[in-house]
Structure 1
């Protein structure tokens, strides 16, 4: 086992060392890739060392340098050294993070990391913190807590009686909300038709006047955004709380919630502490390995009431824990180790600097591309840049060329009926040289 794990670490380290120089993506022979992984299942066993080498050889042609410094698609971070190493340890330790009986160490790591996260993100210290897989799970759990609370306030036990015959719950959300909100509403039985869309302003933040007109009495959930997925715009959380003072406020802050950790951008999230639940990712701006996300709730008893369950065979399942009782999985990876390690590696100042640097690099991207003749569609307030090269067909052609070129990788998006290159700067490894090299390639390919 010692030699096997040492070889696995060596292969992983070789890959990480190659990220700065290798093509970000390359043409893949899908048939050859499938053939390398496929074939009949062997009848007999294969030595573990041979399996490891076969896996490394088979996977290499299909690996994308998403953890590298020039991957600018989908708001994807890299993985910090300490967090990566901690995740290797977590795999070796193989802890089930359901409760403190199964892993006292995992429980302690999540307790400490959750406390630090709340301090950094401006969330009340008394809030609960659940370590989930990502933004989808975080939004689903947060909205489950919202459902529990607003219906309980109306005298309805949704966990016992379901939604059939329940009082109507109004869900107000921006017309530019993230798709995970709609999926969460489907999974929770509301259906997407429950959403009453609220207008968005010029940069994609929620229109407060329209929100105030639509907010009212009765069970109501308001979904706000910290970081519009296209523009980076943040909803005015303090004013939204005043406009919908009786509603449950849920903040989808998959990447934008990290703005609160940087003094230079914290003003964008003024009033964040006034919300009722929050969703955030670790594998985006915190640069923790996949998969890592967080859900916070201002009312821990509501959080647990919506999610926890009890079974006689679950040792130590008496009191609410901060682990399996706040997340959707029972058998769950001990994600807190990598988060704890990332926060220890960076410290408060390091997190702030990481967020600030990514924002500066996004502005550098926008300035360089604009000087080269590209159109920039958004105010670059965080790490998102929308770029066009004239008509939609030409913009899509440029995107295709960039993805085939390999210097950097970015995707396309449709915003306000137009096609754009969407640049997200989230990786701890990205430097000014990476941005300049990528911008030069984009302008070259656009010609």
Structure 2
């Protein structure tokens, strides 16, 4: 079968039309999907056709079948999990990344996209105040950013105790103690499981979810390789671990310090919020996710490691069919900073987001999310029976409505209403309505409508 090269024109025209219609619908549509996954499969499924179909017809069928099952995650009234919207320049850049189809793992083979990613990496280090000679890896998301930083940590702390993981594996290696706050994100545990390090040792936290430096000191008592995982942005409260206290404690014990800053590390870019992450630059590795606070599309996780040698030793590989032209003391090949041999140029939308915003725009974006969270919390707090359970210093907060039963009922009523999405959760032994303000498009009208939707749910 011959595929018509001009098939791109009609297919892309349909995709553009459907994409514009979807984006325009976000301002007014209800948030929840209208059909189930099985119903979508019924529309798109059946026996695999024996013959070809026109690309434009395929795209139209895909859009018609999938759109009823989409959640309005890009809407300004979506506050579930920690999911940002997508900035216009970042979305358009993401389309180009798919069109260019560059496997961005070697600087010499794909200099266009590798060069754009290198610029984005430098801007990120400057914005976040991290060591300028750190290596930056663009990975799939926050989970793999944690994995990458912790892989470098594992190999380095074992090497410091005479054990080469690359040559000997983990069987027989000295045990690595990993200490975490008892309110860390589950992706830390998952990354440790992938790395063969097992379950971490939890350390007590305060009523906002911040690790207690004194408890960390007690838990670190003892010899051997150790890693300490700190947090910039608690999932429920948005709270930040006390880096100026905790990092010196870890350093005294010779531990590697990794910071999970999936959405909170961006506070470092704002002069008014930088105090929340004071001292974070003294860590050894950092993880964040541009699709959250920076509002790029998915597939834009970022891993930063101070010790470039450690990162490249953990992630890199050299073989005869790959021409690794990057010098050891120069910029890394992308394949040396992420756990993949095949990947799209995911750092390009990060470049586009940063270039379109500029430093001032990034600050306005982050500060605006925090202001919106404060206004939303203030409005909900005024609803009869509502209780804000944390200090609203950043973009996350939790609400309870008296008993667990009533809180669950309010959450269910809110989701059934459909105008707003706030996810239920459980925090500090209470059922909560959890709110995450992460979308650049959330405006005053969204906030007012969201408060009214919670009021209706509480009244119901």
Q: Which TM-score tier does this pair reach, normalised by the shorter chain?
A: over 0.9
Q: Give aligned pairs, total.
A: 445
Q: Find the partner of 1:413 among 421, 425, 444.
A: 425
Look up the match of 1:132: 139
Secondary structure in 1 matching 2:173: coil
Q: How much has 1:264 moved relative to structure 2?
A: 1.2
**Structure 1 Cα separation of the partners of residues 267 and 55 of structure 2:** 44
| Distance in 1, Cα, partners of 2:212 & 2:39 | 51
Kindly indicate whether residue 140 of structure 2 is the aligned counterpart of residue 164 of structure 1: no
In the alignment, what sits opposite 2:458?
A: 446
Question: How much is the aligned-residue C-alpha RMSD, in angstroms?
Answer: 1.2
2:243 counterpart of 1:237? yes
Instruction: Give the whole-Å Cα distance in 2 for the aligned partners of 1:380 and 1:37.
Output: 44
Counterpart mapping for 1:231-380 below 5 A: 231-245=237-251, 246-316=254-324, 319=327, 321-373=332-384, 374-380=386-392
SS of the aligned residue for 1:419 comes to strand
Partner of 1:8: 15
CA distance in 2, matches of 1:336, 1:307: 17
Cα distance in structure 2, aligned partners of 1:229 and 1:372: 24
Deviation of residue 255 (structure 1)?
0.2
> Secondary structure, in 3 states, of the residue corresponding to 1:436?
helix
Q: What secondary structure does 1:244 align onto?
A: helix
Residue 365 (structure 1) shift: 1.0
Give, in whole Å, the separation in 2 of the partners of 1:148 and 1:275: 16
Aligned to 1:177: 184
Shift of 1:31: 3.6
Kindly provide the CA deviation profile for residues 318-346 of structure 1, in whole angstroms up to 9, marking residues without a partner as x.
Answer: 64634111101110010121110000111
CA apart distance, 1:6? 2.6
Shift of 1:241: 1.2
Q: If the length of structure 2 is used for normalisation, what is the TM-score?
A: 0.95
Deviation at 1:26, TM superposition (A): 3.9
CA distance in 2, matches of 1:30, 1:64: 12
Of residues 397, 402, 405, the one that matches 1:390 is 402
Which residue of 218, 223, 227 maps to 2:233? 227
> Secondary structure at 2:399's aligned position in 1?
strand
Paired with 2:123 and 2:266, the residues of 1 have a C-alpha distance of 13
Gaps of 5+ in 2: 1-7
Deviations 1:400-433, CA, capped at 9 Å, x for gaps = 1211211111101111111101100010100021
User: Paired residue for 2:3?
Assistant: none
Q: TM-score by structure 1 length? A: 0.97
Of 401, 417, 427, 2:439 maps to 427
